[in-house]
């Protein structure tokens, strides 16, 4: 039976389906908002002209990030320092004012976590302020006002005190060769090279100077060694001089124009980027993570971040499913809630029903036989005007004579009373009580 709970004078403007869709849409949007906040996606744009994966200016690496994502790699921009130790390829793009000790600590921890691609800064640039932008300029476009090597390059111990230099500018751009690919840097600018005995060259300029290489830390990296044209390192596990901590390589790119948005305008840069990533992974299937913390976009972990991160993600999913079940139960409830009734209702009928229910639950129906026989005897004796002082046996005999006179074929009172006393089970008790009641009606009507 349906119950109309709409106010008088108008129907309900929402159907059950519309209400359900509205609630589900609101819940999904709320959960998506919580997830975006926990993942750091609700903190505004990172396209601030910086030299990082969020920057879309000439010096940024947004094109590199999007290129790898289009090639099928699992790419993520990390704004959490705690994620620097996660497995996979980590791309570091530190600025000029980065902390050398912090970079050194990251490289040391990454040796057993996964390969690292370190791209050194070169350009001194800043985002063009909105009032100064020329027609057609977009957010994130930068104004370049100088170039030079980073001041922290010689202070990173893991790189072996790199000697970073800028060459002379050429009109056609500095050419480079590596991984069987030949290209040139954009804009006719000079190449930024590096020299150290700790880095084996992978990409060189026309003068044979290193533009990209990997750190020779004693580990064995077949793909990188093949690209560098050196003999592969074969290590014996029993050799005491072999440091097992160095498992994954560190690839260093001294000239960012090889991989930034400025250089990605050329097809050769994209081919080189893919070759570098494949060689660093050495044939393994890994995720690629672009670090944003060194560029000032770091965020500390919060409760929302933990809620959507294993192993706490399982508890979050259980909570969401419980909320869904509660919401569904609330939605399918039809009509207004029922008003609670009295625990013990008023009236004789309720008293009889409660008493019979108690006896039935207690399984003591056979105890009703004697009281019922006594009540029937009293009513019949009153109807036949029999004296009360003659006793039960004399009353039963008088009732039997009266019954024999009125209905000779019917069983006597004493027989029916004895049958009721001997009955066991609700079915037999009710049948015997019904027969006794029929005899009472015969004598009292």
Confidence of residue 171 (pLDDT cuts 50, 70, 90): very low
* Residue 120 predicted with pLDDT over 50: yes
Q: Pick the most confident of 96-100, 250-254, 303-307, 408-412.
A: 250-254
Confidence of residue 364 (pLDDT cuts 50, 70, 90): confident
Beta strands at 175-178 and 199-205: parallel, antiparallel or unpaired: antiparallel
Q: What is the pLDDT of residue 131?
A: 73
Residue 393 CB partners (closer than 8 Å, separation 6+): none
Written as six digits, the tokens of 1 are 């039976």
Q: What is the pLDDT of residue 119?
A: 94
Length of the chain counted residue by residue: 445
Alpha-carbon distance of 199 to 215, in angstroms, equals 4
* Residue 166 predicted with pLDDT over 80: no
Q: What is the pLDDT of residue 8?
A: 46
State pLDDT tens for residues 21-70: 888 888 888 888 777 766 655 455 678 778 888 888 888 999 999 999 99
Q: What is the pLDDT of residue 342?
A: 72
Alpha-carbon distance of 239 to 243, in angstroms, equals 9
* Residue 326 predicted with pLDDT over 90: no
Q: What is the pLDDT of residue 337?
A: 63
Q: Please provide the average confidence, as pLDDT, over all residues in the chain.
A: 81
Q: What is the pLDDT of residue 252?
A: 94
Q: What is the pLDDT of residue 370?
A: 87
Written as six digits, the tokens of 366 are 């056979």
In DSSP terms, which residues pair with 163 in a beta bridge? 195
Beta strands at 192-195 and 199-205: parallel, antiparallel or unpaired: unpaired
Helix (H, G, I), strand (E, B) or coil at 149: coil
| Span 421-429, average pLDDT | 85
| Beta-carbon-side half-sphere exposure of residue 340 (alpha carbons within 13 Å) | 3
Q: Which of 20, 82, 58, 123 is nearest to 309 (CA)?
A: 82
* pTM of the full structure: 0.61
Q: Pick the most confident of 7-11, 70-74, 132-136, 360-364.
A: 70-74
Lowest mean pLDDT among 34-48, 252-266, 353-367, 428-442: 34-48
In DSSP terms, which residues pair with 196 in a beta bridge? none
| Span 312-337, average pLDDT | 79
Burial bucket for residue 104 (CB in 10 Å: 0-12, 13-18, 19+) = middle
Alpha-carbon distance of 129 to 61, in angstroms, equals 20
Written as six digits, the tokens of 276 are 């570098």
State pLDDT tens for residues 375-396: 888 888 888 888 776 788 888 8
Beta strands at 288-291 and 89-92: parallel, antiparallel or unpaired: parallel
């Amino acid at each position: 039976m349906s119950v109309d709970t709409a106010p008088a004078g108008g129907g309900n403007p929402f159907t059950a389906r519309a209400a359900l869709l509205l609630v589900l849409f609101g819940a999904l949007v709320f959960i998506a908002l919580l997830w975006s906040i926990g993942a750091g996606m609700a903190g505004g744009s990172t396209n601030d002209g910086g030299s990082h994966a969020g920057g879309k200016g000439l010096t940024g690496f947004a094109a590199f990030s999007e290129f790898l994502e289009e090639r099928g790699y699992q790419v993520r921009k990390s704004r959490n320092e705690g994620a620097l130790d996660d497995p996979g390829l980590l791309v570091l793009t530190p600025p000029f004012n980065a902390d050398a000790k912090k970079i050194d600590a990251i490289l040391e921890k990454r040796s057993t976590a996964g390969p690292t691609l370190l791209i050194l800064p070169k350009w001194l640039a800043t985002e063009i302020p909105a009032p100064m932008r020329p027609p057609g300029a977009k957010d994130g476009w930068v104004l370049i006002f100088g170039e030079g090597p980073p001041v922290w390059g010689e202070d990173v111990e893991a790189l072996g005190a790199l000697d970073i230099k800028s060459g002379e500018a050429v009109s056609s751009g500095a050419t480079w060769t590596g991984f069987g690919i030949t290209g040139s840097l954009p804009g006719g600018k000079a190449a930024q090279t590096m020299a150290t005995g700790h880095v084996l060259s992978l990409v060189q300029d026309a003068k044979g100077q290193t533009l990209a290489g990997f750190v020779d830390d004693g580990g064995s990296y077949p793909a990188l060694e093949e690209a560098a044209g050196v003999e592969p390192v074969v290590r014996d596990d029993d050799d005491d001089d072999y440091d097992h901590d160095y498992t994954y390589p560190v690839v260093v790119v001294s000239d960012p124009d090889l991989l930034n948005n400025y250089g990605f305008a050329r097809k050769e840069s994209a081919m080189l980027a893919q070759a570098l990533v494949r060689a660093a992974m050495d044939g393994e299937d890994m995720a690629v993570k672009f670090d944003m913390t060194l560029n000032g976009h770091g965020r500390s972990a919060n409760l929302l971040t933990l809620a959507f991160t294993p192993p706490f993600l399982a508890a979050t999913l259980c909570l969401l499913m419980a909320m869904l079940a509660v919401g569904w139960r609330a939605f399918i409830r039809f009509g207004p809630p029922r008003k609670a009734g009295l625990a013990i209702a008023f009236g004789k009928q309720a008293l009889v029903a409660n008493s019979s229910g108690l006896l039935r639950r207690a399984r003591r129906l056979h105890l009703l036989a004697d009281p019922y026989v006594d009540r029937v005897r009293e009513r019949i004796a009153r109807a036949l005007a029999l004296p009360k002082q003659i006793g039960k046996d004399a009353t039963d005999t008088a009732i039997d004579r009266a019954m024999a006179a009125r209905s000779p074929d019917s069983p006597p009172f004493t027989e029916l009373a004895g049958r009721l006393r001997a009955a066991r089970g609700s079915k037999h008790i009710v049948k015997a009580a019904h027969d006794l009641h029929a005899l009472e009606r015969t004598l009292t009507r």
